[in-house]
């Protein structure tokens, strides 16, 4: 790190103050290596914009670290089993969110819970790219790591940190004296009084939480060595165990940074710490970062209030998109507005803010086009932009390094884009000025992701109709293949067709009149 490169400082939930992040490992060429795990969604439905505000915080951590010259190993999981509906205490109860979704009206179109998980995972990845988020180095699924979770639960039992009952395997919280250090939730009586926790007469402490739930009737189940009681080994892993196991598998016993939404601080992350540190005797994560909640027009998001918004509610054209919110909104404008407030403070999304963000993204694009056109023209002349753009970039990078201060960083980036447009309108840009402008906008895009999509622009314009016809033909051919495969009970081929339809971003509804489809 050079003298002019600022350190990365983040608000550490564990110490409750802004800390300088110092990764423990380095690459072979001497760069700091940030090992970063950020909790992904439970794929029982479309992720909402509050989820994506949290995912964007993780994205900004990655982009800022890379802008500082660091290497990053970034893992963000998919939870596709074990996340129960009553999840605000350590040992949650209720239905598995995946099973509940399959039993819902929307879930009727899926033949199995595995189909539902695949569909919403594909939708997550499509929305992720629409908002120009960097892909994680790994996106592990909980259902693909059950063996490791069973082994971790066994090790915790053998070490005395967990025990088995007829109903499950529980982590014994009193065996880990540091429980509560992240959230401050340590009192057993307070926890028990908040609302019902899982009732198991053999639980030793109300704070104890399940590592494994015995349930041979669960839609997604695996055979385990936990065979006491009538369940005879069949069951599924606890939600908390999944993330700590996957984080340590791919990033090591001690990781540098762990992130997620503020609702995960307790119980999820608190339980992760207890499991991981009881297993290894080493710190689990050296720093923790949490994103605060999002409101919509001053109110908590709620389906009953009609203000519950997904990415496609805002970015897809009607009827999928919400006309009352001006859909389709430019996905980069949605990204910009969601990062415009500091992650460590609550954020209120308004229609006015979204409209303003659309104008700002249009300004970035105009500046970008002006720079590219001037580069092609290759005019002679002095560079009138370098000093102003260098100053704007330094301010933007320093702001992001200082606890992801996006309001200041975005203001500096926008000032630079306006300087480009002002120079462009005053006189044709020289090649030298255009080179400075293009380099500035490239760096801003790498840091903030608001100038242009790194996945390419969506199809449109004159070719849109041809693209629609091509898609229609593909889908209709695939639906015929699917029908034939199902009639012949060739489920492997039917599954392959379904996966291809998911890849195309198509939703299929089976009706008495035959299958109907639309873009997801």
268 among annotated binding-site residues: yes
What is the phi-psi region of residue 14: left when phi exceeds 0, alpha when psi lies from -120 to 50, beta otherwise?
Answer: alpha
Closest CA to 124 of 52, 54, 62, 63: 52
Which structure tokens are listed for 512?
């008495």
Query: Could you count the other beta carbons within 10 Å of the beta carbon of residue 310?
Result: 20
Q: Are strands 32-38 and 71-76 parallel, antiparallel or unpaired?
A: parallel
Q: d(Cα 332, Cα 338) in Å, to the nearest integer? A: 10
Residue 271, annotated as binding a ligand: no
Tokens of 149: 């979770």
Region for residue 184 given its phi and psi (left: phi exceeds 0; alpha: psi -120 to 50; beta: otherwise): left
The residues, any chain, with a CB within 8 Å of residue 289's CB and separated by 6 or more, are 10, 11, 12, 13, 57, 61, 257, 258, 259, 343
Are the CB atoms for 159 and 278 separated by under 8 Å? yes
User: Per the structure block, which two tokens stand in for 74?
Assistant: 């970034």
Peptide bond into 267 cis (omega under 30): yes
Binding residue per annotation — 97?
Answer: no
Residue position matching structure tokens 């704007």: 392
SS3 507: strand
CA distance 409 to 367: 17
Residues paired with 96 in a beta bridge? 84
Query: Which 8-state DSSP code applies to residue 79?
Result: B
Query: In whole angstroms, what is the distance from residue 174 CA to residue 164 CA?
Result: 16
Sign of the dihedral defined by the CA atoms of residues 356, 358, 363, 364, in that order: positive
- Say what the alpha-carbon torsion angle 382, 385, 386, 389 is, to the nearest 10 degrees: -170
37 to each of 75, 102, 122, 266, how far by Cα in Å? Answer: 5, 29, 20, 17
- Secondary element (H or E) of residue 353: helix 351-377
User: What is the torsion angle, in degrees rounded to the nearest 10, for the CA atoms of residue 139, residue 143, residue 147 and residue 152?
Assistant: 70
Residue 163's beta-bridge partner residues?
170
39 assigned to a ligand binding site: yes
Q: Which two tokens stand for residue 364?
A: 């970035």
Binding-site members for ATP are 303
Binding residues: 39, 243, 268, 272, 303
Question: Which residues participate in the annotated binding site for Zn(2+)?
Answer: 39, 243, 268, 272
């Amino acid at each position: 790190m050079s003298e002019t490169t600022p350190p990365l400082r983040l608000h550490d939930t564990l110490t409750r103050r802004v800390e300088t992040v110092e990764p423990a490992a380095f690459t072979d060429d001497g760069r700091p290596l940030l090992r970063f795990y950020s909790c992904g969604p439970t794929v029982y439905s479309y992720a909402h914009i509050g989820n994506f505000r949290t995912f964007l915080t993780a994205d900004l951590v990655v982009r800022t670290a890379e802008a500082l010259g660091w290497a990053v190993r970034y893992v963000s999981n998919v939870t596709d089993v074990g996340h129960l509906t009553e999840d605000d205490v350590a040992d949650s109860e209720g239905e598995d969110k995946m099973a509940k979704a399959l039993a819902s009206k929307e879930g009727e179109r899926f033949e199995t819970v595995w189909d539902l998980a695949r569909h919403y995972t594909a939708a997550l990845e499509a929305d992720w790219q629409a908002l120009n988020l960097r892909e994680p180095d790994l996106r592990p699924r909980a259902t693909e790591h059950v063996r490791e979770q069973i082994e971790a639960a066994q090790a915790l039992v053998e070490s005395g940190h967990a025990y088995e009952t007829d109903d499950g395997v529980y982590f014994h919280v009193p065996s880990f004296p540091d429980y509560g250090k992240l959230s401050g939730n340590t009192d057993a009586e307070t926890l028990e009084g908040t609302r019902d926790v899982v009732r198991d007469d053999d639980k030793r402490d109300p704070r104890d939480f399940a590592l494994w739930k015995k349930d041979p009737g669960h839609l997604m189940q695996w055979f385990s060595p936990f065979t006491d009681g009538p369940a005879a080994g069949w069951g599924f892993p606890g939600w908390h165990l999944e993330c700590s196991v996957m984080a340590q598998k791919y990033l090591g016993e001690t990781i540098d940074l762990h992130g997620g939404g503020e609702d995960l601080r307790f119980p999820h992350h608190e339980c992760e710490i207890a499991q991981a540190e009881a297993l290894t005797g080493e710190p689990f994560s050296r720093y923790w970062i949490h994103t605060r909640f999002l409101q919509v027009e001053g109110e908590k998001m709620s389906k009953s209030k009609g203000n519950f918004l997904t990415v496609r509610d805002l970015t897809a054209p009607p009827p999928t998109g919400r006309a009352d919110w001006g859909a389709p909104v430019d996905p980069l404008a949605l990204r910009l507005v969601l990062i415009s407030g500091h992650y460590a403070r609550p954020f209120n999304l308004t229609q006015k803010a979204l409209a303003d963000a659309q104008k700002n993204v249009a300004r970035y694009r105009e500046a970008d086009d002006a720079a590219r056109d001037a580069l092609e023209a290759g005019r002679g002349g002095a560079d009138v932009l370098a000093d102003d753009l260098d100053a704007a970039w330094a301010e933007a990078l320093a702001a992001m390094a200082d606890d992801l201060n996006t309001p200041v960083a975005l203001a500096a980036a926008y000032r630079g884009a306006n300087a480009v447009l002002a120079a462009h309108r005053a006189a044709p840009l020289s090649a030298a000025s255009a080179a400075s402008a293009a380099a500035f906008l490239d760096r801003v895009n790498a840091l903030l992701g608001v100038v242009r999509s790194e996945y390419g622009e969506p199809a449109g314009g004159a070719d849109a109709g041809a693209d629609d016809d091509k898609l229609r033909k593909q889908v209709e051919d695939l639906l015929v293949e699917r029908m034939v495969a199902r009639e012949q009970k060739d489920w492997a081929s039917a599954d392959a067709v379904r996966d291809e339809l998911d890849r195309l971003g198509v939703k299929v509804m089976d009706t008495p009149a035959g299958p109907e489809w639309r873009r997801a």
